[in-house]
Amino acid sequence: MTVLILGLVLFLGPHSVRIFADGWRTRTVARMGPGAWKGLYSVVSIAGFALIIWGFSLARQQPVVLWQPPVAMKHLNSLFTLLAFVLLAAAYVPRNQIKARLHHPMVLSVKLWAFGHLLATGKLADVVLFGAFLLWAILDFRAARQRDRALGTTYPPGSLAGTLIAVVVGVVAWAVFAFWLHAAWIGVAPLA
């Protein structure tokens, strides 16, 4: 569990700087330069992500069961994950109505993914992993919306074409992940 927690700190720590120390971040980027900042940010985040994967796999070898969720929660998680993939696609597809309305669809996708997995799993490592990501996503979304209001940020209107592309890309990516990649990479077949 220690490796998992260290990985979460190293990964979510840099991703939380704008939540807790946006002024410090701005000054540091100005002092270091954007390239050096992004390089350091990336190295620490990648190290954290690798430790999360390793730590979660170690924790799964000796699971601590906290509760046994009903089977219906696994189906609900599939729905939440489908929506999370659509939101993730909407973060990258230009001029879609999802991003125009929600403004930060990637963070909302992390919220749905984490919340759905918390409902569908009941082991300590799951609670630590998905709970940490859910808490981060809640705080990050709040901070991002506050920045938007303070800066008067506006988002371009979305188009029907952009929205349809985001939905199709999200659904296809979800299907590929749910039916094949999740089992291959994580060792769990969510729709089996």
pLDDT averaged over 10-residue windows placed end to end, the chain, 192 residues: 96 94 92 93 96 94 94 93 98 95 96 96 96 97 94 91 97 95 84 74
Contact 126, 118 (CB under 8 A): yes
pLDDT of residue 190: 83
Residues contacting residue 135 through CB under 8 Å, at least 6 positions apart: none
